[in-house]
């Protein structure tokens, strides 16, 4: 099974050691946890598969896009549009390779991806995130994080002689992750949470109504 090995920092064809299928109470779809061994470094890895309907009365185990253990740096990155997640992944790679200026540049590219996704009119990152603030896609705090990130990105992108420190690189990578997670993951999660609550309230009201005014046959 193909899985990303964090020790080898590459995708490997993990050797399956064992698997366990479980069924949730609420969710009827079975979930399979798969224990693997990396063929290169022999470390243990835990992945998963989900049973997905692929055709008429035909189900197939599909490998989950993320590792369960060791826990990936950001569990939610796979939920982001690829234009954004690719840059964040590159930023992480640069950080791990101690290329902190390159990390800052890649974090800036993730913001560019965010602006592109929302088709902001401004072609600069600064103008783009301002527009996102005005359109209420991000709030004031995230805007400030974005601004801090943008300034570090400019230091990293231009040959000014100023160095990006390890701490600064880590912080702006965390800011970039947080901004993207807020926009693409938590906002969606909150919307579906509210929708579920509304549907529940509607269902309860309907049931109450049926009890108070039973139909007469
Ligand atoms: Zn490995």
Ordered structural domains, the chain, with CATH:
2-63 (no CATH), 77-190 (1.20.120.330)
In Å, the largest CA–CA distance within the chain is: 85
**Cα of 181 from ligand 1 centre, angstroms:** 28
DSSP labels, 53-103: EEETTEEEEEE-SS-SBSPPS-TTGGGS-HHHHHHHHHHHHHHHTT-HHHH
**Any residues with CB less than 8 A from the CB of 35 and at least 6 apart, and which?**
16, 17, 18, 19, 44, 45, 46
pLDDT digits (tens, 9 = 90+) for 127-184: 999 999 999 999 999 999 999 999 988 888 888 777 888 889 989 998 999 899 999 8
**Cα of 54 from ligand 1 centre, angstroms:** 31
**Cα of 165 from ligand 1 centre, angstroms:** 29
Q: For residue 15, how far is the Cα from the chain centroid? A: 26
**Cα of 163 from ligand 1 centre, angstroms:** 32
Residue 184: both structure tokens together: 């693409």
**Cα of 90 from ligand 1 centre, angstroms:** 19
pLDDT digits (tens, 9 = 90+) for 55-90: 888 888 888 777 888 877 666 777 888 889 999 989
Q: List beta partners, residue 152.
A: none
- The model's pTM is 0.61
Sheet order of strands, 30-37 included: 15-23, 30-37, 44-55, 58-63
């Amino acid at each position: 099974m193909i899985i990303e090995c964090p020790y080898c920092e590459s995708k490997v064809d993990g050797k399956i050691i064992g698997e366990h299928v479980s069924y949730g109470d609420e969710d009827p779809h079975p979930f399979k946890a798969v224990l693997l061994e990396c063929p290169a470094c022999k470390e243990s890895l835990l992945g998963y598969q989900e049973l997905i309907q692929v055709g008429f009365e035909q189900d197939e185990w599909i490998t989950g896009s993320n590792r369960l253990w060791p826990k990936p740096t950001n569990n939610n990155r796979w939920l982001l549009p690829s234009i954004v997640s690719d840059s964040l992944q590159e930023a992480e790679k640069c950080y791990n390779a101690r290329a902190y200026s390159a990390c800052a540049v890649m974090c800036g590219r993730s913001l560019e991806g965010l602006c592109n996704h929302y088709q902001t009119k401004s072609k600069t990152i600064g103008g783009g995130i301002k527009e996102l603030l005005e359109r209420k896609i991000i709030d004031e705090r995230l805007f400030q994080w974005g601004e801090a990130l943008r300034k570090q990105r400019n230091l990293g992108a231009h040959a000014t002689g100023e160095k990006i420190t390890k701490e600064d690189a880590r912080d702006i990578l965390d800011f970039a992750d947080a901004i993207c997670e807020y926009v693409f993951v938590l906002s969606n999660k909150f919307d579906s949470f509210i929708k579920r609550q509304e549907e529940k309230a509607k269902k309860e009201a309907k049931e109450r109504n049926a009890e108070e005014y039973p139909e007469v046959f």
